[in-house]
Amino acid sequence: MTWHSWLIPPLITSIFFELGILLLYELIVKIIIDHQVDYDHANRLIGRFTAGYLFILYLLLDIAAVTGGDQVAFANFRLIILFTMVLFLESLPSRISIGLALILELLVYHPIAKMISQITAIFLLLGLSAYIHRRLPRRSFLTRTILSIIAGAIFWGVIERSSNLSWSQTLTQFLFFTIQVTILIWAIVVLERTNKLALLNSRYAKYDALTGVRNLRFFRDEFDKEIIRSRRSETPLVLIAVDIDHFKHINDTYGHLAGDAVLKQVTTRLIEITSKFNRDITIYRVGGEEFNILVPNADTYQGAQIATQCRQELSAAPVQFGDKIIPVTLSLGVADLIDEDTSLTLYNRADQNLYLSKGRGRNLVTVNFKTLTNETDPVTPPETQHKTN
């Protein structure tokens, strides 16, 4: 079949053009979801990307209309893009994009009479859509579609009055608009649900549902990467293994809901304590009552300080669950990365230190097989060791 044999009606071409735009958008969104670990940050990033993507598309279509000498060209696409930003986006970037698009219309439309009528129609319709949309049920395909079709009818009615288009041409454009906007809104509603589910699945695959911190699977991925980063940058790295003492006894005595409350509060306190030392510290829940704390850019002395602080503050503040006061203590094992380490050997050494703390009485910190007894100076600082030697 030759090139000249592709006699495709404009409506079909428009629909496939629209679906192609959506496909490219969805591919980029999937990349964002796959490379983001924080759910809220991913949502914000997708919102900003969507606003920028739609504005760039609007700009390209407007340039094509201007350079082609036909201000009505791509009018349906441009109008649909504006309505998409109003009906689906409520972020600051989307409002900026809408404002820039309207300014662009003011700069390129001529003559004055046509420009005023079209801009007035766009402002009126966008304002009306925003007003009604905020007072109707959210995530409604039917509501958004009907609202857009009514707005499209008003827009093309105004355009017919202020241009050389005949009623048949205007009716054809409105029919095309109705079909295109219906398909687009349906596709966006479906993609919204799919992307939200993908974001949630991505989060649950990487985060612990109960405590909200990263899980064992995520730890394994990041642990290897952090070791590689540490070696390349020649910076120290410490791994702290943490276990809640007698957690089974807590569950058996106070119930599993109390055990869940203990896990949540211990996690919260660990985050609060470690953030005082270094905001790059990451906490992972790697088992029922077991946690790993990954401390980049820290040596053994600093890791011991962090572990000791966690042990002291947790033991000094029991967990309150209803009218019950539940004493909680931690056993911790600290190990630092050495030249011959692999991720497995470093992990095993931290784990062995943890079990030494548990075996020597619990509520203790063990650093490189030495269980600490002096809480005010858990290990000798590197400078002191050098002077002593």
Domains and CATH numbers, the chain: 8-206 (no CATH), 214-388 (3.30.70.270)
pTM for this one? Answer: 0.60
pLDDT at 118: 58
Q: Given this model, what pLDDT does residue 46 score? A: 80
List all residues 6 or more positions away from 377 whose beta carbon is below 8 Å from its beta carbon: none
Residue with the bigger pLDDT between 8 and 370: it is: 370
Task: Look over the chain and give the mean of its residue pLDDT values, rounded to a whole number.
Answer: 79
Q: How confident is the model at residue 132 (pLDDT cuts 50, 70, 90)?
A: low
> In 3D, which of 62, 57, 74 has the Cα closest to residue 22?
57
Portion of the chain with pLDDT greater than 90, in percent = 32
pLDDT at res. 136: 56
| Weakest-pLDDT range from 88-102, 245-259, 373-387 | 373-387
Q: What pLDDT digit, counting tens, does each position of 305-351 carry?
A: 999 999 999 999 899 898 889 999 999 999 999 988 899 999 999 99
